[in-house]
Amino acid sequence: MYRFVLTRQWVCLTLVALALIPAMIKLGFWQYHRHVHRVAQNELIDANLRAKPVPVTEVTSPGHEVPRADFWRAVTATGTYDSAHEVVVRMRTSNDDKVGFHVLTPLVLGDGRVVLVNRGWVPGGDDPRAYPPVPAAPSGEVTVAGRLKADETSGGSGIKDRKGLPDRQVMLINSGQQAESLGRPVLGGYLELTAPAPADDSPEIITDPDHDSIGAHMAYAVQWWLFASAVPVGWLVLVRREKRDREEEAAKAASAAAEPAAA
């Protein structure tokens, strides 16, 4: 009765169905793990932003690779800005997605070490290769607060560290690179400024990272798993429909054959 499932057409259909089921299950788990990662990241961001600020020298040092547990850690630093060695970071977006530059200014601490401070975003000028108009950093000793961020790399950010850039322009914020140009020990990672707010709101301070939304990854996971469960059900429905159609055709053929005999 069900011998038709051994035909070439049905064998191919069955093999496709058997391949789809584990693929969809795997896609579901991929989306589930993305959901778990997003939830954990949101919890980490929230905890580190709420934590009591600590001196940046307590959580990083020259050559230190900032671990994930310290991303967005609230830190403070006291020193003097070295505006002569300030650089801008190309192709960065503002809080409303305009393309411009981030302003990276070294802050020389009391012991001579340096922490890089991302003071925020500024728009570019008419010439994208020219150094943009950047408000001067405060003079004298200052105390700043911000979020600790890890050094950017091409592998981690996907941004290519291009050569031959205009003077005082970089693609990545990297303490190792800046240590070479400064000739000073630079703390690993950098500080993303949150206070004090600059005069006239320029550079534009970077807002807190989003840590409220979790995206639709869990919904996508459930969707893939439902698709996986629907495949065998659909296969059975097709088999039963094929069986019914074949039985109806056989009955019609038998009826047509019986009519001449009756006549």
d(CA 50, CA 53): 9
- Domain annotation covers residue 244: no
Sign of torsion, CA 149 153 154 156?
negative
- Domain annotation covers residue 43: no
- Domain annotation covers residue 215: no
- Domain annotation covers residue 36: no
- Domain annotation covers residue 209: no
Locus of tokens 């550079």:
203
- Domain annotation covers residue 61: yes
- Domain annotation covers residue 221: no
Q: Which residues on neighbouring strands pair with residue 114, listed in sequence order?
A: 108, 186
- Domain annotation covers residue 180: yes
- Residues sharing a CB contact under 8 Å with residue 82, sequence separation 6 or more, in sequence order: 105, 106, 107, 108, 114, 182
Residue 183, domain extent: 52-201
Q: What's the domain count of the chain?
A: 1
**Whether 69 contacts 261, CB under 8 Å:** no
SS3 53: coil
Helices (H) and strands (E) counted in the chain, each on its own, are 4, 8
pLDDT in tens, the chain (263 residues): 677 888 888 889 889 999 999 999 999 999 999 999 989 888 988 988 889 999 999 999 999 999 999 999 999 999 999 999 999 999 999 998 899 999 999 999 999 999 999 999 999 877 878 889 999 999 999 999 999 999 998 887 788 777 788 889 999 999 999 999 899 999 999 999 999 988 888 899 999 887 778 889 999 999 999 999 999 999 998 888 888 887 778 778 777 777 665 55
* Torsion angle of the four alpha carbons 195, 200, 186, 86, in this order, in degrees rounded to the nearest 10: 180
